[in-house]
Structure 1
Amino acid sequence: MKNHRCVRWKVTEISVAIGVLLAILITAFAPFAEACEEVRQDTLRLHILANSDSDEDQALKLKVRDAVLAAQADLFGAASSKEDAIEIATRELENIRTVAQKTVWQEGYSYPVRVRLENIYFATKEYEEFTLPAGRYDAVRIEIGEQAGHNWFCVLFPPLCVPAAVDADDTTQYTEEEQQVLTSPYRIKFAAIELFEYLKESVK
């Protein structure tokens, strides 16, 4: 009986220790987590899903990407806010679909193309110059055929993947706190945010 009590006390002590540790971690990461949420709120992403992982379908995905970005460069490059970008995306969804579908047909494929604006979960994504934290983002989603292949995604606003903005330092459209997140070298912070956001998704 005494041993059982000892075990229960040990479990309780461990649980308390874990709780205290989590509280410390949450407190320490709170400013970073808040800035990550601001990044998500101020970003509009582009998400393209290929029909499959075949070389041909992956190449087609990139041709669709190039055609869409070229056709929409002036519009998204001129957006002055996330709200502007959302309005443009909403208005241009059918035009984006038309450009994507036409590209698919011109390349000799009959895959249907679907385009929509939605709020979806993304894992942490590291680019050459910046990193986007995991979580839910608004995104223009282009689905090609069976949408069973590796996807491609970038940022429409700020226009980080829009050709018209290639030479511009468009991360300056983020606040100073947001820019610190984007350029943060602390990978453990991004890992912690991704774990937290994943757990949030799993309980929905």
Structure 2
Amino acid sequence: MDRKLKRWEMALMLGLLCALVGGSWLGQEQHELADSVIRFHVIANSDSAQDQALKLAVRDRVLEEAQAVYPSNATLEGARSALESSLTQLADAGRQVVEEQGYDYPVSAQLTQCWFPTKEYDGFALPAGNYTALRVVIGEGEGQNWWCVAFPPLCLGAASETVDTAAQAGYFSQDQVKLVTGESEGYVLKFKGMELLGQLEAFFS
């Protein structure tokens, strides 16, 4: 009986150890990636067709404005600093679109930490986790979200970079490129593990 109990205890301890080691590794990988990007998060007033269309118009204007405030050859810290000092300008740009389309919703912009689920884009994907984000909220902010990457500029229309060109500019390591483009070995399991890890962290916090 004691031997069986000890085996059970050892198996449990081994499982917990594997989970901790695996979680720590996955968490570190996600954190390093999160430290390389600034996400862009736009929240519509509601899920009505009109408010969703307005969200996309605000998105386009704010992205255009964000591109203009970045310094030449911006680094991540340079982009962060430029965004922080331009939040009022970015909110005003979004508010102008709202007024042009005949609405009176307030628009706010902030640079904050947000949790994102795993998200696939055109040619790359980002795992779930906490990221610094330029967060724009329209009106009540109760509608569906739109999100992408504001820096490196992977979502700035004609100025968009690819993941490869962002890597060439020094924004991503080769391991990070392989992860976000799906070339990393076992990336599907990694992404799922990061998703579960993020949910556990959110639960215990």
TM-score range, shorter chain: 0.7 to 0.9
Q: CA deviation at 1:33?
A: 3.9
Q: CA deviation at 1:61?
A: 0.1
Q: Which residue of 2 aligns with 1:189?
A: 190
Aligned length: 198
Paired residues of 1:48 and 1:143 also in contact (CA < 8 A): yes
Quick check: 1:121 aligned with 2:115? yes
Q: Deviations over 1:58-95 (max 9, x none)?
A: 00000001111122223338453210111011111011
Unaligned runs of 5+ in 1: none
Larger displacement relative to structure 2 (116-125 or 47-56)? 116-125
- Of stretches 75-84 and 136-145 in structure 1, the one that deviates more from structure 2 is 75-84
Instruction: Tell me the TM-score normalised to structure 2 length.
Output: 0.85
CA contact (8 A) 1:50 1:151 kept: yes
Distance 1:191 1:158 in 2: 24
Corresponding residue SS for 2:133: strand
State the identity as a percent.
Answer: 34
- Alignment check: 8 A CA contact 1:50 1:57 kept: yes
8 Å CA contact retained: 2:71, 2:78 = no
Contact 1:53–1:150 (8 Å) recurs in 2: yes
Within 2, Cα distance between the matches of 1:143 and 1:112?
Answer: 8
Runs of 4+ in 1 over 6 A off after TM superposition: none
In structure 2, the CA distance between the partners of 1:53 and 1:45, relative to structure 1 (3 Å rule), is same
Structure 2: distance between partners of 1:98 and 1:135? 29
User: For structure 2, which runs of at least 5 residues remain unmatched after alignment?
Assistant: none
**Normalised by the size of structure 1, how large is the TM-score?**
0.85
Listed one character per residue, the Cα deviations across residues 21-44 of structure 1 (whole Å, up to 9, x for unaligned) are: 343355457555433211101110
* Bigger CA radius of gyration: 1
